[in-house]
Amino acid sequence: MQATHDAAGADATGRGSLLRDLVALTKPRITLMVLITTAGGLWLAPGEMTLLAIAATLIGTAAVVSSANALNCWMERDSDKHMARTKRRPLPAGRMEPHVALRFGLALGAFSVPLLALAVNPLTGLLAAIALVSYVWIYTPMKQVSPAALLVGSVPGAMPPLMGWTAATGSLEAPGIVLFGILFLWQLPHFLAIAMFRQGEYTRAGIKVMPAVRGVARTKLHAAMYAGALVPVSLMLVPLGIAGAIYLTVVGLAGVVFAVMCIRGLRIAEQDREASHRWARAVFFASLVYLPLLFAALAIDVAAR
């Protein structure tokens, strides 16, 4: 009896560990952020949606993002061993066989895209398919070849609010495209900053990031350019009638502050690595404040009208 009880307990523990590792493959924090931005697009878009369509949009989006993340983990299982923030993931840590992650990721993809196409609308399903393919089969292998992979990877990263908009409207419209543009531009200085202070880890993992390939000075210049472009693009929601004075004031000020922080990096000598790393970390944390602040200002503005 005791042996049977112990075996049952071991099985339960094993199933619990497998479930935790499968969840880890989906990168839950990233998936949660994607759901928030998708919900933002849904909420801002005109038109009525049934609860079933809303649920299908959020479930399908979560599943397609989870698929992309799981397949990314499968493809990068060897390079993940060389980075402190990824070496404890299930595959590089040896807690899961690669074929399990592959089947899990493919199953999520096979479920999510048809769900969005059939239960929401074909356009949203198409955008989900584009995001999945571009992230897994273009961006992920391209990271080992060129720092331009960042531009490619920012496309699926910016897709969720546009998918929320198309789920509600069934069409590509200017406000949805602007939401896409905001997320696209925000990601660039955010990830360039990460590449700056984690350059050594990326290099050991064989990932081509801009600081290592094209130099710190060019990386800072690109971060400043993208942060500068983010200011007018983010404010385009005002003339489009989506946002008003509250959003204009808060996001305009936050965007200028963020852009100035990025521009200040140009004054730091390329040889001063310690100062450059401090600047990169400051830009990274500022980016983490900027995006939630933008969506909070947008929500308050819309609710107050």
At 71-105, the pLDDT tens digits run 999 999 988 888 888 888 999 988 999 999 999 99
In sign, the C-alpha dihedral spanning 290, 293, 294, 295 is positive
Structure-token match 């969720």, residue found? 160
Round to whole Å and give the CA distance between 276 and 268: 7
Among residues of the chain, what percentage have pLDDT more than 70? 95
Residue type, 166: T
Confidence band for 144, pLDDT divided at 50, 70 and 90: very high
Residue 6 confidence (pLDDT) above 60:
no
- What pLDDT shows up at residue 15? 64
Q: What is the mean pLDDT of residues 151-163?
A: 95
Residue 7 confidence (pLDDT) above 70:
no
Confidence band for 273, pLDDT divided at 50, 70 and 90: confident
Q: Give the lowest-confidence range in 60-64, 102-106, 262-266, 267-271.
A: 267-271
Determine contact, residues 175/237, Cβ cutoff 8 Å. Answer: yes
User: What are the structural domains, with CATH classification, of the chain?
Assistant: 1-171 (1.10.357.140), 173-305 (1.20.120.1780)
Round to whole Å and give the CA distance between 167 and 68: 20
Residue type, 260: V
Determine contact, residues 132/156, Cβ cutoff 8 Å. Answer: yes
Round to whole Å and give the CA distance between 195 and 178: 26
Determine contact, residues 86/92, Cβ cutoff 8 Å. Answer: yes
Confidence band for 65, pLDDT divided at 50, 70 and 90: very high
Q: What is the mean pLDDT of residues 96-125?
A: 95
Average pLDDT score over the chain: 91
pLDDT tens by residue, 172-228: 999 999 999 999 999 999 999 999 999 988 998 889 999 999 999 999 999 999 999
pLDDT tens by residue, 289-302: 999 999 999 989 98
- What pLDDT shows up at residue 55? 95
208: which DSSP letter? -
Residue 292: its H or E element: helix 273-304
